[in-house]
Structure 1
Amino acid sequence: MGEMIDAGGTEFWVERRGEGPDVLLIAGLGDVAEAWQSQLDGLADRYRLTAFDNRGAGRTRLPEGPLSVPRMADDAAALLRALAVPAAHVAGFSGGSFIAQELALRHPGLVRSLVLMSTCARPDAYFRRMTDFWHWMVERAPGERAMLEAFYLWVYTARAHADGTVDRFVEEALAFPHPQSADAFRRQLAAFEGHDTLDRLPGITAPTLVLAGELDIATPPRLGRAVAERIPGAEFEMIPGEAHQPFQEAADVFNARVDAFWREVDAAADS
C-alpha cells in the first residue's frame, strides 16, 4: 500500500516494498508506480524498492508552469532525500530513463548505479514525428480505450497484442481510478521531447547498464547503444524478441539481469 510523501513541497504518491539495498524505479510517459508491479513483487526479497507517480501522473498533481526533465530529476532527488535514502540503484524506462540520466548528472551522489531501459539521449526525427502524432492522438481519439489501443501499438510486441496481454493492460488502465488527463499527457510528452543529454553523458560517473528491446520501434536499440557509448564504462545489452517494455512483458528476464548488475555493483563497492 502506498502513501503520499512530501518532497520539496510537492506531494508524491510512493510505493515501497522489500528490504535490502535501495532501488529507485522511475516510470515513463503516463505511467504510475503500478507499472513496476513485476519488479515490486519479484525483487522485494533482495532490495528495498521505491516506485512513485511522476508529476502529472496518477496521484501526483500536475504543477503550474513548465514541466521539464531536469525538474522531474530534481523531484526524484527530493524524494530520495525525503525518504532518507543516501544513494540508490536507479532504474528508469523510456521517459523515466531520461529523468534517470538527468538525476545522475544533477545529483551524482544520490545514484549508486544506473539502469536505462528503452532510452535515448537526444530524440531523432523519427521520435519527433512519432510524438507529434501522439499529441494529435490523445486529443482526437474517439475515446480512452481507442487512445490506449493505439498508443500500445508502439509499446508492446505483436505477441502481447495476440495473446491478450495488451487487452489486460487496457482493462487495467481503464479501471484505474486516477487516469491521466489529456493535458497532463501532452505536457509530460513535451518535456520528454525536449530531452537532450547527448553532450553531457560523459559526465555520468555511476556504473551504468543500458538495455534495449530488439523490436523496440519507439526507442530503437541504436539509440540505446549511442547512450552507452557516451557514458564511460557503460554496458549495453539488447533483449531478443522484446519491444519497448521488457520489464513488463519479460519480467523474469529483466529482473534477473538487473539483479545481477546490482549485485556486481555492490560487490565491487564492498571489495
Structure 2
Amino acid sequence: MTMPTTRYARSGGVNIAYQVVGTGPFDLLWVPGWVSNLEMSWEVPEYARFLTRLASFSRLILFDKRGTGLSDAVPIENLPDLDQRMDDVRAVLEAAGSTTAAILGASEGGNLSILFAATYPERVRALVLAATFVKRVWSPDYPWAPTPEEREQERVMLEREWSGDMGLADLAPGAVGDPALMRRIATFFRRRASPGAAVALNRMNTEIDTRSLLPALTAPTLVLCRRDDHGVSAEESRWIADQIPHARYVELPGDDHLPWLGDVDGLLDEVEVFLTGVRRGPDPDRRLATVLFTDIVGSTEKAAELGDRAWHELLEKHNAVVRRELDRFGGLEVDTAGDGFFATFDGPARAVRCACAVAEAVRALGLATRAGVHTGEVELVDGTVRGIAVHIGARIAAEAGPGEVLTSSTVKDLVAGSGLRFRERGAAQLKGVPGTWQNYLVEP
C-alpha cells in the first residue's frame, strides 16, 4: 500500500494532520501512544504492515496528536491535556466525514480513547484497548504503575538517550537481537517528536488517571495485553477490563509493548474478529521482501551494432554475471525478461551490494546496467511475486541512469549503519504508482 495523502483538520487554531486509507464498511480510528509521525509510519515496513492490515477491513483514520509528527508544534510548557486532544479527535473525525467509528487505542492512546468514548458514546461503535494503562504513577490502589522516582529516571534517560536507543529494549524486547530493527525503531521515534517534546509528553502522561471513566463506558470493549509486556502488566490489564461493563479480555503471548511488533497477526486477528465478527486471519502468502530490478542500458542499440549472434553471446555472458552475483549475495531469481532481471532478497543491504557488484562486473563486458531496489510487502501467488512493492522497484530502476543503483527511502533507512552511502536524487512521480517517492543514489 502506498502512502495516503496527508490532510489537516483545524482544532482550536491548531492544525492536526490526518490520513484516511481503506474502503471498509466502517470507520476505525487508530490512536497511537505517546508520539507519532503519519508519513514516517508508512516508511517503516513493520508499522506499514500493521496499518495495511487494519485498512483491509475498515476505513482507517490516522492522525498525529498536536505537538507530534506532522501536526502543529506547541510550546513544551503548554502541552495539550486529554481534553484538548479529545477536541482534536473530534475535529479529525469531522474532517474525515465520520459520524461513528470504532476506536483502537494503544498505550497512552488508550486513555484518550477512553475519554472520547465516555464523552461521546453516540459516536463510538466499539472500543479496543491494546497495552493500555489508566494511571501512570504508583499508588496503593493502583500498584502496577511505576513510582514517581522511576518515572523521573525514565525522563532523565530519554533526554540523555534520545539520540541513541532511548530505552527501546523495554518497548520492543523482541527486537533486541536485531540491531538494524532497533536502529529503525529509534529513528522512527526521533522523527515523531523532539527530545524536549518527548520528555514533556512523558511528564504529562504521568499525570493521567482515567480510572473513574471505566464504569461509564457503554461501547462494546475489547482489552488486549501481551502476557509479558514490560510496560503494562497482564494483571493491570485484567483489572482494567473488570472495571468496564461487559468488556472482553484477551491475553496474548509475547513481551513487545508496541502492537506493531512481535506477533502482530495474533493481535490483529483478535481486533478483526471483535470488530467484524469474522476471523479471517492474515494472508499466508504475504511477506516482507527486498526486490531488485536490473537491465542493460542501451540494449537495443547494442544489439543492432553487434548483430543477433554476437549480441546473444554477450547477453549470455551478462546473464551469467548477474546469476553469479545473485548467488553470491543470496538473491533469488524470480524472472528474466530480455536483458532484465527481477530478484528478491531477505535483506536490503545484500540487494544493494548485489546491484553494485553487477554494475561493476558488466563493465568488463562493455555494458552498463541500471538497477532499482525497494523493500515492501509482496504477495506470493502460484510461484510468482506480486504487489505494489514490485511495481515500485521496477519504476525506481527505470529512473536510474547508466551504471546507477537507485533505492527508495525505505531501503536507505533500513541499511543505516551498514557502511553504504547514499546521495539524495530527489522526489519522483513513479509511473502507475500513486504519490511522490524519494529516491537515493548509491554512491561508490
Structure label with greater radius of gyration? 2
Residue pair 1:23, 1:88 contacting (<8 A) in 2 also: yes
1:161-180 CA-partner distances (Å, limit 9, x unpaired): 11343233234556x4xx51
Change (3 A) 1:74 1:129: farther
In the alignment, does 2:203 pair up with 1:190?
yes
Q: Which residue of 2 aligns with 1:26?
A: 31
Describe the SS at the equivalent of 2:30.
Answer: strand
Of 9, 14, 26, the match for 1:10: 14
Describe the SS at the equivalent of 1:112.
Answer: strand
Of 184, 201, 205, the match for 2:218: 205
Residue pair 1:161, 1:167 contacting (<8 A) in 2 also: no
Residue pair 1:62, 1:184 contacting (<8 A) in 2 also: no
Q: Which has the higher helix share?
A: 1
Describe the SS at the equivalent of 1:232.
Answer: coil
Change (3 A) 1:162 1:74: same
TM-score (norm 2): 0.54
Q: Aligned-pair distance for 1:223? A: 1.6
1:16-60 CA-partner distances (Å, limit 9, x unpaired): 211011000011112333285233212323211111111111111
In the alignment, the residues of structure 2 paired with residue 236 and residue 116 of structure 1 have an alpha-carbon distance, to the nearest angstrom, of: 10
Q: Which residue of 2 aligns with 1:170?
A: 186
In the alignment, the residues of structure 2 paired with residue 129 and residue 2 of structure 1 have an alpha-carbon distance, to the nearest angstrom, of: 42
In the alignment, the residues of structure 1 paired with residue 15 and residue 220 of structure 2 have an alpha-carbon distance, to the nearest angstrom, of: 30
Describe the SS at the equivalent of 1:96.
Answer: helix
Write the letter of the residue equivalent to 1:145. S
More displaced stretch, 223-232 vs 242-251: 242-251
In the alignment, does 2:50 pair up with 1:48?
no
Q: Which residue of 1 aligns with 2:116?
A: 103
Write the letter of the residue equivalent to 1:114. L
In the alignment, the residues of structure 1 paired with residue 159 and residue 194 of structure 2 have an alpha-carbon distance, to the nearest angstrom, of: 10
Write the letter of the residue equivalent to 2:183. D
Write the letter of the residue equivalent to 1:163. D
In the alignment, the residues of structure 1 paired with residue 205 and residue 86 of structure 2 have an alpha-carbon distance, to the nearest angstrom, of: 12
Write the letter of the residue equivalent to 1:168. R
Q: Structure 1: which 5+ runs fail to align?
A: 266-271
Q: Structure 2: which 5+ runs fail to align?
A: 139-144, 279-444
TM-score (norm 1): 0.86
1:190-230 CA-partner distances (Å, limit 9, x unpaired): 22211111122100101110111111121111221111111
Describe the SS at the equivalent of 2:276.
Answer: helix
Write the letter of the residue equivalent to 1:49. L
Q: Which residue of 2 aligns with 1:57?
A: 68
Identical aligned residues as a percent = 26
Residue pair 2:104, 2:129 contacting (<8 A) in 1 also: yes
In the alignment, the residues of structure 2 paired with residue 236 and residue 100 of structure 1 have an alpha-carbon distance, to the nearest angstrom, of: 17
Using CA pairs below 8 Å that are at least 6 residues apart, which structure has the higher relative contact order?
A: 1
Q: Aligned-pair distance for 1:181? A: 1.3
In the alignment, the residues of structure 2 paired with residue 63 and residue 31 of structure 1 have an alpha-carbon distance, to the nearest angstrom, of: 15
Write the letter of the residue equivalent to 2:171. V
More displaced stretch, 188-197 vs 128-137: 128-137
In the alignment, the residues of structure 1 paired with residue 124 and residue 224 of structure 2 have an alpha-carbon distance, to the nearest angstrom, of: 18
In the alignment, does 2:168 pair up with 1:152?
yes
Change (3 A) 1:254 1:247: farther
Of 194, 218, 223, the match for 1:181: 194
Change (3 A) 1:229 1:66: same
In the alignment, the residues of structure 2 paired with residue 4 and residue 150 of structure 1 have an alpha-carbon distance, to the nearest angstrom, of: 30
Q: Which has the higher strand share?
A: 2
More displaced stretch, 87-96 vs 211-220: 211-220
Q: How many residues end up aligned between the 2 structures?
A: 257
Describe the SS at the equivalent of 2:269.
Answer: helix
**RMSD between aligned residues:** 2.1
Q: Aligned-pair distance for 1:151? A: 2.3
